[in-house]
Amino acid sequence: MRPELAVVLALLFIALSVGAAHRLDTLRRAGPRPTWSGLLVWIVFRLFARVVHRTRYDGAESLPAADRPLLIVSNHTGAADPILIQAGCPFEVRWMMMREMNRGAVDWFTRYGRIILVERDGRDLASTREALRHLRGGGVIGIFPEGGIERPPETLRRFHSGVGFLVARTGASVVPVWISGTPKVDAAMASLYTRGRARVEFGPVMRFDGVTDAAEITRQIRDRIASMSGWPTSEVNADDSLETPRTGSGETSPARPTMSAHDRRH
């Protein structure tokens, strides 16, 4: 190879390397967690959402900046839900999850994501205090207030009023999210490796300035997600036996203030 050509190729390689490094650094700083490990995890989440679940996102362009307390509130179709939502968010979402789900390989994800573990009986004040502290510090909390995975599928369960409690105590804004098209599988974790054609819709931001009634806040959030989905609703949650769903958004009965994210395996 001629020396001149070798020099040109070397300079081209250096220029491409510097450009790629700059691009990756820009993505790192703009990602949900501005670290190299955070960038890698976010890329994996994005690939998972696009390749495994062929996810379509609607409304993501109108997501607010994470510069004030924010709650991401969604229906719950399977274990893949928090990954699909995080893949569509430019900020880090700190999730609330049932402690009973924290086993095996899930433990690493729990520690890395700083997930707030919640007891099913809703009596652990430490998790509530941690969620309030994070929100008051301008953080983002993700919550699935149905208390478990929707059974039967495509039926919106009653919401626990813990979500309204968090809003009332912190003044947090709420982004309602509707997830659909994930695989209808019996085991919650099966949605992680079963292909789907998911859709994640981020609704307009909801604000409750001056509203202090947790049950009323919870009702309005549930009504909004019911309207987005058009699904029938059921006045039961994961701690009740299933009943025949009824059509329409309806009102949410007051429930004990527990906050939950994942269901037991079915």
Q: Which helix (H) or strand (E) is 168 found in, with range?
A: helix 162-170
The maximal CA–CA distance of the chain, rounded, in angstroms, is 80
CA distance 45 to 113: 13
* Token couple for 30: 């703009």
Residue 228: count of CB within 10 angstroms of its CB: 20
Which residue ranges make up each domain of the chain?
58-266
For the chain, percent of residues with pLDDT exceeding 70: 70
pLDDT at residue 248 tops 50: no
* Token couple for 244: 């025949």
Enter the DSSP assignment of 9.
H
Question: What angle do the packed helices 214-229 and 162-170 form, to 10 degrees?
Answer: 120
pTM as predicted:
0.76
The pLDDT tens digits of the residues spanning 74-117 come to 999 988 999 999 999 988 899 998 776 766 666 777 777 788 88
Q: Which amino acid is at 177?
A: V
DSSP for 60-97 reads: GGGPPPSSS-EEEEE---STTHHHHHHHT-SSPPEEEE
The CATH class, in words, for 58-266 is alpha beta
Phi, then psi, of 115 in degrees rounded to 5: -65, 140
CA distance 225 to 74: 8
The pLDDT tens digits of the residues spanning 126-149 come to 899 999 999 999 999 999 999 888
CA distance 72 to 141: 6
The pLDDT tens digits of the residues spanning 159-189 come to 999 999 999 999 999 999 999 999 888 776 7
The pLDDT tens digits of the residues spanning 178-227 come to 999 998 887 767 888 888 899 999 999 999 998 999 999 999 999 999 99
CA-based angle 59:233:246, to the nearest 5? 145
195 conformational bin, left if phi > 0, alpha if psi -120 to 50, beta if neither: beta
The answer to whether 17 and 28 have CB atoms below 8 angstroms apart is no
Judged by DSSP in three states, 143 sits in strand
Give 98's strand partners.
118
